[in-house]
Structure 1
Amino acid sequence: MTTPDPMAEIRASFFVECEELMEALQDGLTMLDGGDADDETVNICFRAVHSMKGGAGAFGLDDLVRFSHRYETVLDEVRAGRLEPGHDVVLLFMRAADILSDIVHYSRDGLPVDPDKVEPTLRELEALISDEAEEEEAEVTDFQPMTLALPFGGPPADRVVRIRFAPEPDLFTSGNEPVHLLRALAALGEMQITPDLSEVPTLDALDPEAACLAWEIVLTTNRDRAEIEETFEFVEGLCKLSICEEQSGLSLPCLPGLPPLAMPPAPDAGVSPSAEVRPRLTLTAPPDCSDPEEGTPPPDTAKTHAPQPAPATPIAVESPVATAARPATTPPKATVRVDLDRIERLVNLVGELVINQAMLSQSVAQAGLPTNSPVVQGLEDFMQLTRDIQDSVMMIRAQPVKSLFQRLARIVRDTSAAVGKPVRFVTRGEATEVDKTVIERLADPLTHMIRNAVDHGLERPEARLAAGKPSEGCITLSAAHRSGRVVIEVMDDGGGIDRPRVQAIAEERGLIDPGQAMTDAEIDALLFMPGFSTVKQVSNLSGRGVGMDVVRKSIQDLGGRVSISSSPGKGTCFSISLPLTLAVLDGMVVDVAGEALVVPIGAIAETMAYREQDIRSVGPRTRVLHIRDSFVPLLDLGVELGFRPAKESNAGSVVLLVANEGETLGALIVDAIHEQRQVVIKGLQQGYGNAPGIAAATILGDGQVALILDPVDMMAKAGTRPGQTQPALAPTG
């Protein structure tokens, strides 16, 4: 059996951490672009790049080390106040961050880096470096990303190194184990260990989550300083550390750390040299402790008495995630990375649990047990437990849309440069959580919509100035939870949809009849027709007639809807409405012509009994419901789905008022309401394609398959079957 490579797991963790650091870098650059150029914002950017460089050096990723090293040098110019982070500089930093992300992905996948994509930006970065920074760089003749400070001098002879190692509480909560570090040190030479118990309180005052124990280590070794420091590189920010060398009776300068302790006679430490080091964090290099300005006295070669440890200051080593991705005042939370396949299996098991719970409820109902029966009461507790488990599992899969929005920011920059239009990208609601599967499948349609907004939606700078607008266009991407769904909007402040031109192109391509009377909404809907394009010349961005129809299909496959609103001269907004999860939803089970259907609870605003006096006729086939001084379209769901012909009277039926984002759109007539329950969503798109008004299917407690309706889509497409009339949606008033 092949032994798993422990470095492969560590390497994978490094690249996952790079994603977190890239997110922190993008946040910092966004704040810089917004004018928030304080020291902490600049430090966030610098630490993110610096941490990636250190980790890349540990794995020999030379391309990543080289680029990040030059990038952090320019960021250090900003930290030192020698470079002003103006708009153009920040834009360059953003382009450099995009390339840095590419190099990370290439390095992760083992692909070569294209110099033609890297070198131009690298030269632009180098042009920003001041002469002073160039001189400082020239002094460093051999950059070693693995080292925390300059190596010990002299030939490789045995030397005595005194180490003080004091873990912080986060070291233990992150899964690191000091014994592995001590074993790794033991492999470097002869070692004596003395525990420091001075900070250990009495048993009644002991905090089990505190870190009270420290160790004094005397290591006799011929290894250089870099190898010793490599032992602790992945626990930086999780411990306090000092390293001092004693050689030939001299007390040499210490790496900044804690004041050394007076050591008692060290017992023989029987530590096994075999070790399995489980590193977690990438390294962060502290300043050179040999600088006289830091207050470290030079070695006194005149002293020949017994060596005394030199005074030292606390080491400034920080966790890249804790410092770059979170404010300093926020304590880090313990996290664990889990394979997505395991979560998917858990979600599927919860879905089966929901189905079994429904079947059990059906059996108990058929048995006719009294409500005070222990079986019924126990079933109610089981139903609540099932719901709690389902909610918890859905929270595990939910992720903020922030990572997706940051990827789209790059699309805006690339498209803006390609078409020569300056664009400002604004995001809102980045913390909105959506099912991970939804986020992944939204990337392609949103990318196409963003490109369309820049390429087609925004005018040229000269046209904007002539219209009294700023030369820089604005694209706004927002996300929010509304009525049990997530709504994502892509807005631009361009010229809006040129509806006469859209209709003319549709007539020219034979998509509609010439001279056909159409409303604004119907003209806007032409943009989603296959083969429609307003571009006359094919480019890298558009013009091939494969666009918004694919976007709509992708969103429909997610159980969502996309709509357009546009104002001439003011801009266009594409709105995407999606379910929060693709696994389970709360639904109302209704009966229509003997068929069980499920209507999502989030789409139902109100239920009421059918009353003939509330019904009005508009033409021969269309009826509306009079409610609270307003009229809404009324549909017989059985007729609309083709289950039965229209009844002479719907007396005894139930009316469901359908709402979308708080706006009442219409009413549906159903024969009866059975119950409200959680249902497991089973997609129909792969086997049956898209059916108007049908979102998915589910399995009920009696084993019956029931369709899950999309009532909003049902109202929008009502009357499209032969012999029916499209009802006009009425305002609610």
Structure 2
Amino acid sequence: MTDSAILDAFFEECEDLLVALSDGLEDMREGRADGETVNAVFRAVHSIKGAAGAFSLDDLVGFAHTFETVLDEVRSDKLETDDELLRVLQRAGDILANLVDAARDDIPADRDQVDPVIAELQSFLGAEDLVEEEFVFEALSLSFDGDDSGARFVVHFRPGQEFYATGNDPALFIAALQALGPCEISVETSDLPEDFTGFTWNDGYLTWQVTVADQQNDLAIRDVFQFAEDLCDLQITEAHVDEPAPAIDIGLPDVVPTVDLTPVEPAPASDAPADTPAKTEKPAKRAASTLRVDPERVDRLINAVGELIINQSVISQRIDEAELPNSAELYGDLDDYKLLAREIQEGVMAIRAQPVKPLFQRMLRIGREAADATGKDVNLITEGEATEVDKIVVERLADPLTHMIRNAIDHGIETPEDRAATDKPQTGTLRLTASQRSGSIVIEIIDDGAGLNRKRIREIAINKGLITEDAALSEQEIDHLLFAPGFSTASVVTNLSGRGVGMDVVKTAITALGGRIAISSVAGQGTTFSITLPLTLAVMDGMIIHIGGQTMVVPIASILETIRPSPADIAEIGLSNHLLRIRGEYVPIIDLASRLGVTPNATSLTDRVLLLLQTESVSQCALAVDDILDQRQVVVKSMQGSYGEISGISGATILGDGKIALIIDPDAISAVPASEVNAQRKAQNEVSHATR
């Protein structure tokens, strides 16, 4: 393995360790922690420090050393975990993650962020701890002709019920320890009941102590217990090399008694002492079995599955052209092929899917930094962290979410003084949620701040020439002015926001992912930004439509229903605008042919089909097309690399007959100019008034 591959593996391991660290610190802040939680937090920091030392990542090593020293004091009960200490530990976890990112990107650490947190950590340590503050990683020298006995470690473990219930055997673990080096083994039997009336098979009555010699560190020992660490009480301590073997006398008799384990009938519950507390054990955490795969291999597999789906479409097309009788068995075989291709596609997509938890934890870090920078007290909450999304979607969400989290804290949530003046809790709340709805993933950023100042937004839009003074805009359309390029409500430029960029970048990034973003705001109560994204970027369900001699695809996720209008359903406005009357409402009709610059096959809207769409720019609109040909799953091919960005087109696909069909971007197609929106709304009001 090359040095770069080893370093990449280190950073991948760091991601898992940082997740464990964040989970543990969160449990500590919420009061759900026990001794093992603190140990897990300590081990995460210690593992990062040890591995970072091997790569001479001095900034990371130095900070982690101070961090783990404080955690060691906590787990030794020398420090009380009050609110102030927990706050500093949480901040230290954020800085440690930032240092890992800086090391990965090969950029220097931000000392303005790191040094104050180091000082806060050191304030909890005594003088004797600070003396040992400098940590130096020393490479190990290997010698095969000398006697280097190394260190000895004492392993003290007591299996619990879950240990035995999951089929584990202490003898196998002891054998694995013996394979590491010379061992001294003892067992404590004092907890065995004097009689076996209440004996249960899966209770852990025995405690084992194994002293393992000739070890450079405890990593190999911990590897032995990595899948059973949460199933037993485990302690691993180092014995000094210059001392004799640690005392093994833990109350053992000279001869371990032979125990007759003949099954007996369990004693009635009434025989148990009334004051015996119920025995509770912490649920065991199942170790996740994972396999790291090169992303390039997964991408090749996904491309192959895409070609399989295209091939399935080709076969379907050929069979239809052959005009075989419906009773032909070939149709049944084709249906089986379709189902199999779909199952393979879904299985492959699941390989590239990953939970949004690491992304959300990174956003929590950014949120805490923004709160500290603005002097605001913000409670950050995440929900739906286990929601899985395509890996590429998760990676591209980082930047837009960063903008939105910072904006929500900087502009949305008020200062403690302003919140107190409005009878709100001084601590603001920011929620980041993820869920799956109808084949899409929905991510929401919800704050309980002051809400959008629509009057201020409108004034800025007029000053910047984005709208005219007499423009009649709904609240939703005013809100969406935030996404206009260069729009900003900030009067002062800060490190967080106010440079006239941000929300337009967010919209561009979300649109590039095939998603849409919506805003809901209530004055004085807060604002919600909702991002709707496809679960995967590789395959989508689409409706095949015909327009001006061209075959195109409209994403089904944007289509509410299809309509074949009658003359009474159409209202003509001006020279070229039309409205669709549906269930007492009027929605604008967008002629797809005119938008794309092609000539439709039919001129009358009553001879065409209308697709009722829901987009971010217009709550509802009707897309006029010549005809609907089919509904099928299509493989999305990007056009960015070959043709750049094409307005109204999000990609392309290959149909069963081998033709290339463009994929329509409903949001871009429905984004009409403000002047046209005003004209349509004015006309809609006139039509509504005339029909009363």
Query: Is 1:423–2:378 an aligned residue pair?
Result: yes
Secondary structure, aligned partner of 2:386: coil
Q: Deviations over 1:65-105 (max 9, x none)?
A: 54334323433444455544343322211211122223334
Aligned to 1:498: 453
User: In the alignment, residue 370 of structure 1 is paired with which amino acid?
Assistant: P
CA positional deviation for 1:450: 1.3
Corresponding residue number in structure 2 for 1:527: 482
Give the partner amino acid of 2:226. G
Quickly say closer, same or farther: Cα 1:634–1:689, change in 2 above 3 A: same
Runs of 5+ consecutive residues of structure 2 not aligned to the other structure? 141-146, 156-162, 184-211, 258-281
Counterpart residue number, 2:88: 92
What SS does the aligned partner of 2:560 have? strand
Deviation of 1:366 after TM superposition, in Å, equals 1.1
Distance in 2 between residues matched to 1:579 and 1:526, nearest whole Å = 24
Partner of 1:701: 656
Aligned mate of 2:215, from 226, 232, 235: 226
Residue 647 of structure 1 deviates from its aligned partner by 5.3
Residue 182 (structure 1) shift: 11
The structure-2 alpha-carbon separation of the partners of 1:142 and 1:105, relative to structure 1 and needing over 3 Å to count, comes to closer
1:541 to 496, 512, 518: 496
d(CA) in 1 for partners of 2:660, 2:218: 63
**Stretch deviating more after TM superposition (507-516 or 356-365):** 507-516
Report the counterpart of residue 23 of structure 1 in structure 2: 19
Unmatched tracts of structure 1, length 5 or more: 148-154, 192-222, 241-255, 258-283, 299-307, 312-326
Residue 290 (structure 2) pairs with residue 335 (structure 1): yes
Alpha-carbon displacement from aligned partner over 1:594-615 (angstroms, at most 9, x marks no partner)? 3222222333333454444555
Q: Distance in 2 between matches of 1:624 and 1:442?
A: 36
Whether contact under 8 Å (2:436, 2:442) holds in the other structure is yes
SS of 1:225's equivalent in the other structure is strand
1:387/1:157 CA distance change after superposition, 3 Å: closer
Alpha-carbon distance in 1 for matches of 2:151, 2:608: 92
Alignment of 1:330-369 (within 5 A): 330-369=285-324
Q: Does 1:476 align with 2:426?
A: no
Pick from 42, 45, 55: which aligns with 1:46?
Answer: 42
Q: SS at the partner of 1:370?
A: coil
CA gap of 1:157–1:606, structure 2 versus 1, over 3 A, is: closer
Task: Tell me if the contact between 1:586 and 1:601 (Cα under 8 Å) persists in the aligned partners.
Answer: yes
Correspondence for 1:678 among 612, 633, 639:
633
Cα displacement (A) at 1:411: 1.2
- State the Cα distance separating 1:50 from its structure 2 match: 3.6
The aligned counterpart of 1:434 is: 389
Q: What residue number does 1:592 align with? A: 547
Matched, 1:555 2:505: no
**CA spacing shift, 1:713–1:289, aligned 2, 3 Å:** same
- Do structure 1's residue 286 and structure 2's residue 236 form an aligned pair? yes
The within-5 A match list for 1:126-275 is 126-129=122-125, 225-227=214-216, 234-237=223-226
CA distance in 1, matches of 2:286, 2:36: 17
- Name the counterpart of 1:296: 248
Q: Distance in 2 between matches of 1:336 and 1:455?
A: 41
Provide the rounded CA distance (Å) in 2 between the counterparts of 1:668 and 1:81: 67
Distance 2:571 2:113 in 1: 67
More deviation in 602-611 or 418-427?
602-611
Whether contact under 8 Å (1:146, 1:226) holds in the other structure is no
Q: Secondary structure at the match of 2:215?
A: helix
Change (3 A) 1:643 1:239: closer
Question: What displacement does 1:672 show?
Answer: 3.0
Aligned AA for 2:237? Answer: P
Match of 1:392 in 2: 347
Q: Given the superposition, is the C-alpha separation of residues 626 and 511 from structure 1 closer, same or farther in structure 2, using an over 3 Å criterion?
A: closer
Q: What amino acid is aligned across from residue 44 of structure 2 in structure 1?
A: A
Question: How far has the Cα of 1:420 moved from its partner?
Answer: 1.8
Paired with 2:238 and 2:139, the residues of 1 have a C-alpha distance of 14
Contact kept in structure 1, 2:390 and 2:535, CA below 8 Å: yes
Give the secondary structure class of the aligned counterpart of 1:286: strand
Matches within 5 A, 1:708-719: 708-711=663-666, 714-715=669-670, 717=672
- Return the alpha-carbon distance in structure 2 between the equivalents of residues 239 and 432 of structure 1: 27
* In structure 2, distance between residues paired with 1:45 and 1:228: 19
TM-score, structure 1 as length reference = 0.70
Cα drift, residue 565 of structure 1: 2.4
CA separation in 2, counterparts of 1:675 and 1:158? 72
1:339 positional shift? 1.0
- CA distance, structure 2, for counterparts of residue 619 and residue 424 of structure 1: 53
Partner secondary structure for residue 496 of structure 2? coil
Preserved contact between residue 289 and residue 296 of structure 1 (Cα < 8 Å)? no
Change (3 A) 1:468 1:8: same
- Alpha-carbon distance between aligned partners in 2 of 1:577 and 1:589, rounded to the nearest angstrom: 22
Give the Cα–Cα distance (whole angstroms) in 1 for the partners of residues 75 and 651 of structure 2: 55
> Equivalences for 1:559-708 in 2 at 5 Å?
559-615=514-570, 623-625=578-580, 632-639=587-594, 641-644=596-599, 649-651=604-606, 653-659=608-614, 665-685=620-640, 693-708=648-663
* Aligned equivalents of 2:151, 2:592: Cα separation in 1: 87
Pair 140,28 (structure 1): closer, same or farther in 2 beyond 3 Å = closer
CA distance in 2, matches of 1:115, 1:608: 62
Kindly provide the CA deviation profile for residues 103-139 of structure 1, in whole angstroms up to 9, marking residues without a partner as x: 334555666656664343223223224x6xx769989
CA distance, structure 2, for counterparts of residue 523 and residue 157 of structure 1:
74
Partners of 1:477 and 1:488 within 8 A in 2: yes
Residue in structure 2 matching 1:513, options 433, 451, 468 = 468
1:152 corresponds in structure 2 to none
Tell me the alpha carbon deviations over residues 122-176 of structure 1, each in whole angstroms, 9 at most, x when there is no partner.
23223224x6xx76998999999999xxxxxxx968999999xxxx99xxx9xxx
Q: State the secondary structure of the residue aligned to 2:287.
A: coil
State the distance in 1 between where 2:14 and 2:308 align.
37
**Counterpart amino acid of residue 485 in structure 2:** P
The 10-residue stretch of structure 1 (437-446 or 35-44) with the greater mean CA deviation from structure 2: 35-44
Give the deviation of 1:693 after TM superposition.
Answer: 4.7
Cα distance change on mapping 1:719 and 1:636 into 2, 3 Å: farther
Q: Alpha carbons of 1:655 and 1:309: their partners in 2 closer, same or farther (altered >3 Å)?
A: farther
Q: 1:138 to 1:379 in 2, by over 3 A?
A: same
- How much is the aligned-residue C-alpha RMSD, in angstroms? 5.0
Change (3 A) 1:236 1:649: same
Q: How does 1:367-406 map to 2 (within 5 A)?
A: 367-406=322-361
Q: Could you say if the C-alpha distance between residues 9 and 552 of structure 1 is closer, same or farther in structure 2, counting changes exceeding 3 Å?
A: closer
Residue 426 of structure 1 aligns to a residue whose secondary structure is strand
SS at match of 1:673: strand
| Deviates most, 350-359 or 32-41 | 32-41
Paired with 1:63 and 1:639, the residues of 2 have a C-alpha distance of: 60
Residues 24 and 33 of structure 2 are in contact (CA less than 8 Å); yes or no, is this contact kept in structure 1? Answer: no
2:596 and 2:152 map into 1 onto residues whose CA distance is 86
Q: Residues 433 and 330 of structure 1: is their aligned pair in 2 closer, same or farther, counting only changes over 3 Å? A: same
The match for 1:489 is 444
Match of 2:408 in 1: 453
